[in-house]
Amino acid sequence: MPDAPLTPVDVLVLGGGAAGLSAALSLGRSRRTVRVLDAGEPRNATSPHAHNLLTHDGTPPSALLAAGRDEVARYGVEVVTARVVAARRVDVPGDVGWDGAGSEDTGAADAGSSGAGSDGAGWNGAAHEPVLEVRTADGGTHRARRLVVATGMRDVLPDVPGLRERWGRDVLHCPYCHGWEVRDRRLAVLATGPRAVHAALLVRQHSADVTLLTHDAFAPDAEQRADLAARGVRVVPGRVTAVRVEDDALTGILLADGDVVPCDAVFVGSRAVLDDAVVDGLGLQTTALDFLGEDVGRAVAVDATGATSVPGVWAAGNVTGPQHALAASIAAGSLAGAHVNASLVTADVAAARAARITTRP
Ligand SMILES: Cc1cc2nc3c(=O)[nH]c(=O)nc-3n(C[C@H](O)[C@H](O)[C@H](O)COP(=O)(O)OP(=O)(O)OC[C@H]3O[C@@H](n4cnc5c(N)ncnc54)[C@H](O)[C@@H]3O)c2cc1C
């Protein structure tokens, strides 16, 4: 028998990285009851310092998140270390419950401290107030009137031995975040497909010594070769088989033919993998990501406010796209938080008006 749900809150925020904590800050300051459920594995965890974040440039990622947790705690936001393993909207016809046993009482009338009932105005296509429920790996069940999905993404790297171990240190994902730190060094770009040409030309901004390793993932066409040659970017064909490391630093890339390309850092594009249990459990619409002709994963589709295809559910940060760096993720979380609060205000007004009509003699 599953545990009974913990006290329902206005908003559950799934994921306590930059986007989730930022949404929680907006919502806590709006006097909403907010619980953040966070597995504690942010995307940039292996990076020693975060860059390109105004006023916090060079701060370790763990310090940024610790400060964020302190800030949201001031407004009564609960941050719970927990992994969400299932999520669903309870108040819909045909909901069969976690075990297919049928949905219990939806708890719509007491789903949050503000107490909007099921007579509340429809929001964003919802016929009545949504009731959203998630389950955590430790068996806990949590309910809320709104969800903010901020579970980020997992970076899937090419299957090259040693690459993952150096991720965030000298195997890098983004020149805006880490290009400055490796300026004028020997740099390589490990291709996963055609987007590598764009990456190599961006990386060239940081060093005159750039090698594009095609890794048998694609062959640059004549135009691309001309662009790369014009900027002095070498193109090296052949499969990459390993990274060379000495004294805990990258020194080169080993090719299948035995050649070694000396380099101090390598940039590589990842594939964005989402948390299927959350995204597909809720039935969120996703978009296939195509980057210059390369399939690079999928992202939750949102409108300009961060609202997803499912009533009551917003999303922010890397779950909506791998390109959002910290500043963009914080901004998206803040915006989503404000719109979630506005939707609750609308529902609360409708519930209050309905209550007045009911009680009028
Ligand atoms: C190696 C690397 C270095 C980077 N460096 C920089 C940089 O210097 N500057 C910059 O601006 N950007 C940088 N980025 C990008 C930055 O990491 C992202 O912008 C940022 O992490 C996005 O925030 P987020 O909140 O969307 O996701 P995340 O920070 O990944 O946070 C998501 C949180 O949700 C949790 N979570 C996931 N699934 C669940 C679940 N089922 N239940 C509960 N919790 C869950 C995760 O454990 C995590 O704590 C870097 C990225 C990488 C890969």
- Cβ of 24 closer than 6 Å to ligand 1, yes or no, is no
- Cβ of 278 closer than 6 Å to ligand 1, yes or no, is yes
Q: What is the mean pLDDT of each run of 10 residues along the chain (361 residues)?
A: 74 98 98 98 97 98 98 98 96 65 45 36 54 96 97 98 97 97 98 97 98 97 97 98 97 97 98 97 96 95 97 97 98 98 95 83 63
310: which 2 tokens? 């499912």
Residue nearest atom 17 of ligand 1, based on CA coordinates? 44
Q: How far apart are CA 336 and CA 342, in angstroms?
A: 10
Tokens 């101090």 sit on residue: 264
Residue nearest atom 39 of ligand 1, based on CA coordinates? 151
Do 148 and 130 form a contact (C-beta atoms < 8 A)? no
Q: How far apart are CA 37 and CA 15, in angstroms?
A: 6
Q: How far apart are CA 18 and CA 328, in angstroms?
A: 9
3 state SS of 67? helix
Q: Measure 326 CA to ligand 1 centroid, in angstroms.
A: 8
- Cβ of 18 closer than 6 Å to ligand 1, yes or no, is yes
- Cβ of 214 closer than 6 Å to ligand 1, yes or no, is no
The torsion angle over the Cα atoms of residues 181, 183, 187 and 189, rounded to 10 degrees, is 70
SS3 content of the chain, % helix, strand, coil (to 5): 30, 25, 45
- Cβ of 322 closer than 6 Å to ligand 1, yes or no, is no
| Contacts for 206-210: CB closer than 8 Å, 24+ residues apart | 206/175, 206/179, 206/180, 206/182, 207/182, 207/183, 208/184, 208/232, 209/184, 209/185, 210/234
Q: How far apart are CA 59 and CA 49, in angstroms?
A: 5
Q: How far apart are CA 326 and CA 120, in angstroms?
A: 36
Q: How far apart are CA 255 and CA 237, in angstroms?
A: 9
- Cβ of 152 closer than 6 Å to ligand 1, yes or no, is yes
Q: Measure 103 CA to ligand 1 centroid, in angstroms.
A: 33
- Cβ of 62 closer than 6 Å to ligand 1, yes or no, is no
Do 10 and 114 form a contact (C-beta atoms < 8 A)? yes
- Cβ of 167 closer than 6 Å to ligand 1, yes or no, is yes
Residue nearest atom 8 of ligand 1, based on CA coordinates? 50
- Cβ of 40 closer than 6 Å to ligand 1, yes or no, is yes
24: which 2 tokens? 């929680």
Among 37, 43, 267, 319, which residue has the most ligand 1 atoms within 8 Å of its CB, making it the best to mutate?
Answer: 43
How far from chain centre, in Å, is Cα 296?
A: 14
- Cβ of 326 closer than 6 Å to ligand 1, yes or no, is yes
- Cβ of 147 closer than 6 Å to ligand 1, yes or no, is no
DSSP annotation of 236 = E
- Cβ of 151 closer than 6 Å to ligand 1, yes or no, is yes
Q: How far apart are CA 175 and CA 96, in angstroms?
A: 47
Tokens 């000396």 sit on residue: 262
Q: How far apart are CA 40 and CA 55, in angstroms?
A: 24
- Burial of 281-296, coded b for 16+ CB within 10 Å and e otherwise, reads bbebebeebebeebeb
- Which residue ranges form the domains of the chain, and what is each CATH number? 9-153+271-359 (3.50.50.60), 158-268 (3.50.50.60)
Provide the pLDDT for residue 100. Answer: 61
Cα Rg, the chain, nearest whole Å = 24
3 state SS of 287? strand
Residue nearest atom 46 of ligand 1, based on CA coordinates? 41
Query: What type of residue is 228?
Result: L
Nearest alpha carbon to residue 200 among 266, 250, 255: 266
Query: How many angstroms separate the Cα of 303 from the Cα of each of 95, 149, 153, 285, 296?
Result: 26, 14, 19, 11, 21
- Cβ of 68 closer than 6 Å to ligand 1, yes or no, is no
Do 122 and 245 form a contact (C-beta atoms < 8 A)? no
Atom of ligand 1 nearest to the CA of 15: 34
The torsion angle over the Cα atoms of residues 169, 174, 176 and 179, rounded to 10 degrees, is 50
Tokens 């400055």 sit on residue: 180
Do 164 and 157 form a contact (C-beta atoms < 8 A)? yes
Q: How far apart are CA 116 and CA 81, in angstroms?
A: 28
Indicate the pairing of strand 265-268 with strand 171-172: parallel
